[in-house]
Amino acid sequence: MVDIKRIQEDSYDLLSVVGEVDASSSIELDNAINDAIESGNKKFLVDCSHLEYISSAGLGVFMSYIEEFKKRDITLVIYGLNEKVSNVFEILGLDQLLSIRASKDEAKAAL
Amino acid sequence: MKYSYKVPCKKEKLRDIRSFVKEVLDKHGIPEIDVSTIVLAIDEVCANLIIHGHACNPKDSIELEIKVAKELGLEFDIIDNVDMFDIAAYQEPNLEDIIKKQRKGGIGLILVKRIMDDIQIIKHPKKNICRLTKKIELH
């Protein structure tokens, strides 16, 4: 189960992801990112400090937008991954393909 | 020691499968970071079977058996009656290709292969077993 909220802050939109993203809930992450980019905004932060678990279904959602972000000149920065979740990104090497920062301040600086 | 859990083929049951595996592994003093990756590997195989093998039909079920032995490490048997995809023979796709094609799937089995030490598909007349082994120090 996952709960995703989108808040407009300054020059960017903040997506806050709370809970677990697995094969049963990844569609919610997909919808949230899709709605966010369709809003026309170009800068997004994704707060994952309360993301407890992610499986390949959730990772696949982030991966599937990488090309779209490039095409539309969108910047999306993920931050706040806990050690276990961060480890999953690293196993696949996604930490090299997505923009990931430790804190919100660092993520804002990367926008 | 041996633990078993039978669940209906519903995606919503993946959370219960993860809780079951975590509970078993926590009993044996396995470091938290290893527990999290092993739980992920089991979740990936079960999700694959529930979604692709059974089309999420709740009338079907899969069974998970966990054997814990000092000399063996951890052995996970995922038992099913449908034909199983041969994960052991699965060639890892290139991540760049998946990204270019904007595919959302195809990475779960990469995770399983990178996390587990051995993967075997054992075929019996009435059931198939996906056996995942993880060599790990047990307490």
| B49-96 per-position pLDDT tens digit | 999 999 999 999 999 999 999 888 999 999 998 888 788 788 888 888
Overall domain count for chain B: 1
What is the SS3 assignment for B30-85?
CCHHHHHHHHHHHHHHHHHHHHHHCCCCCCCEEEEEEEEECCCEEEEEEEECCCCC
How many structural domains comprise chain A? 1
Q: Which domain holds residue A100?
A: 2-106
**Predicted local confidence at residue B105, as pLDDT:** 78
pTM: 0.94
Q: Are B118 and B75 within 8 A, CB to CB?
A: no
The mean predicted confidence, pLDDT, of chain B is: 92
pLDDT digits (tens, 9 = 90+) for A86-110: 999 999 999 999 999 999 999 999 9
Distance from CA of A61 to the nearest CA of B (A): 6
Instruction: Extract the residue ranges of chain A whose pLDDT is less than 70.
Output: none
- Identify which of B102, B104, B107 has the shortest CB distance to residue A68: B102
Flag if B111 and A24 touch (Cβ within 8 Å).
no
Question: Would A111 be classed as within a structural domain?
Answer: no
Given an 8 Å threshold on Cβ–Cβ distance, is A22 in contact with B98? no
Residue A71 · residue A42 · CB < 8 Å: no
pLDDT of residue B70: 86
> Does some domain include residue A32?
yes
pLDDT at site B3: 97
Beta bridge partners of B63: B6, B79
pLDDT reading at B125 higher than 90: no
Query: What is this model's ipTM?
Result: 0.92
Q: Which residue has the tokens 């959602």?
A: A61
Chain B residues 97-116 with CB within 8 Å of chain A? 98-100, 102-108, 110-111, 114-115
- What the block records as the tokens of B111 is 């995770």
Predicted local confidence at residue A74, as pLDDT: 97
Asked if the Cβ–Cβ distance from B99 to A67 is below 8 Å, we say yes
Residue B139 covered by a domain: no
Query: Among A2, A25, A63, which would you mutate to test the B interface (most chain B Cβ atoms within 10 Å of its Cβ)?
Result: A63
The CATH number of the domain holding residue A36 is 3.30.750.24
